[in-house]
């Protein structure tokens, strides 16, 4: 058979990767990091079950592109998190994979050197190392899982997973979520519809069998037990925002009709802020006020936040990049982040 005449006609290269088990041995979770991950997951589960009445605050950069800035941010956030931990559980956004509407930088794991060299092996090492460093600070982490193979390399260090608006309809991602070891948030579709996320939550609660890789990197059939810890993430859509009391009531009703727990996390960015990072504070304060007024279905909020506010283009001259400024979506700065979290701590008291 002359498969070379019919196979891989548009493939430029195939580069082998380190196996998940080998990477885990090379960059391993120590006792402190393991304890932080386990405790973080249990704390999030207790919040979702309403056994812990703290507010879940998922806060951090739109995407990680600078390891030093990410460590700096994590240190600041971990210190603030300790101060407000009695009323707010802070989880750091540590997003390595970026879905693109068309083309663009796909994130640290895919292109860690920001130069289209696509050194995925280095990206996986950098991502895993950073997650473990942050866990060693006692800081829980959240990330979006975009590539279905990525979790085998980093999921053991993650406290909260997310399935994005563009992939929440994907059977592959629903199946993947059913086997993840942590709670998972499902964002509503980019058009604002809730149905795809609700369907995804129902699907992920069930057992699935699908093709994947094992710890040695070999192709295998993965059979999952189902993940009961799904949560709806509201991020607005083309039709507008979806964090008003009326929209939250609709979300609760739709979840209950589907036989799902009526719990939501409101994303203050994306369409909820009209894609204007400066309006995230408006959304945050509005939703916290609804929570204080008695809406127990609001279990958490999400902020896109960095050391400095705004965003910057990814230019050919990497030395021109400003420290602590996002290269993807615009973020609020550290000062405003600190203000919002401390305000919420006081309001929730």
3-state per-residue secondary structure call for 2-22: CHHHCCCCCCCCCCCCCCHHH
Cα separation, 63 vs 96, whole angstroms: 6
Nearest by Cα to 226 from 201, 207, 212: 207
The pLDDT assigned to 5 comes to 86
Answer positive or negative: Cα dihedral of 238, 242, 247, 251. positive
In the block, residue with structure tokens 């994303």: 267
Query: Quick one: tokens of 111?
Result: 């292109």
The pLDDT assigned to 276 comes to 98
Domains of the chain, start order: 17-348 (3.20.20.70)
What does pTM read for this prediction? Answer: 0.96
Cα separation, 316 vs 75, whole angstroms: 30
By the 8 A CB rule, do 81 and 140 touch? no
What would you report as the CA-atom Rg of the chain, rounded to the nearest whole angstrom?
Answer: 20
The pLDDT assigned to 317 comes to 84
- Between the alpha carbon of residue 141 and those of residues 59, 60, 315, the distances in Å are 9, 9, 29
Q: Note down pLDDT in tens along the chain; length 349 residues.
A: 556 789 999 999 999 999 999 999 999 999 999 999 999 999 999 999 999 999 999 999 999 999 999 999 999 999 999 999 999 999 999 999 987 655 688 999 999 999 999 999 999 999 999 999 999 999 999 999 999 999 999 999 999 999 999 999 999 999 999 999 999 999 999 999 999 999 999 999 999 999 999 999 999 999 999 999 999 999 999 989 999 999 999 999 999 999 999 999 999 999 999 999 999 999 999 999 999 999 999 999 999 999 999 999 998 788 899 999 999 999 999 999 999 999 999 999 9
């Amino acid at each position: 058979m002359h498969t070379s005449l019919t196979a891989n006609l548009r493939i430029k290269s195939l580069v082998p990767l380190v196996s998940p088990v080998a990477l885990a041995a090379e960059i391993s979770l120590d006792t402190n990091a393991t304890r932080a991950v386990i405790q973080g997951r249990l704390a999030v589960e207790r919040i979702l079950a309403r056994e812990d009445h703290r507010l879940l605050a998922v806060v951090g950069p739109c995407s990680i592109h600078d390891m030093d800035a990410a460590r700096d941010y994590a240190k600041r956030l971990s210190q603030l998190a300790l101060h407000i931990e009695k009323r707010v559980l802070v989880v750091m956004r540590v997003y390595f994979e970026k879905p693109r509407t068309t083309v663009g930088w796909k994130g640290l794991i895919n292109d860690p050197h920001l130069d289209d060299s696509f050194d995925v092996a280095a990206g996986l090492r950098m991502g895993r190392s950073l997650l473990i460093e942050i866990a060693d600070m006692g800081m829980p982490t959240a990330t979006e899982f975009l590539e279905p193979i990525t979790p085998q390399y980093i999921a053991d260090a993650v406290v909260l997973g997310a399935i994005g608006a563009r992939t929440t309809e994907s059977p592959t991602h629903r199946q993947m979520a059913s086997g993840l070891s942590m709670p998972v948030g499902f964002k509503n579709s980019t058009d604002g519809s809730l149905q795809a996320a609700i369907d995804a939550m129902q699907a992920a609660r069930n057992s699935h069998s699908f093709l994947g890789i094992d710890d040695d990197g070999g192709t295998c059939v993965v059979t999952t037990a189902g993940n009961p810890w799904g949560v709806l993430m509201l991020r607005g859509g083309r039709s507008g925002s979806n964090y008003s009391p009326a929209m939250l009531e609709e979300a609760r009703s739709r979840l209950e009709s589907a036989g799902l727990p009526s719990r939501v996390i409101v994303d203050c960015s994306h369409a909820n802020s009209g894609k204007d990072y400066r309006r995230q504070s408006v959304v945050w304060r509005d939703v916290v006020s609804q929570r204080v007024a008695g809406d127990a279905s609001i279990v958490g909020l999400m902020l896109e936040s960095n050391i400095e506010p705004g965003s910057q283009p990814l230019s050919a001259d990497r030395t021109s990049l400003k420290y602590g400024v996002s290269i993807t979506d615009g973020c609020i700065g550290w000062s405003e982040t600190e203000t919002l979290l401390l305000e919420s701590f006081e309001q929730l008291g």
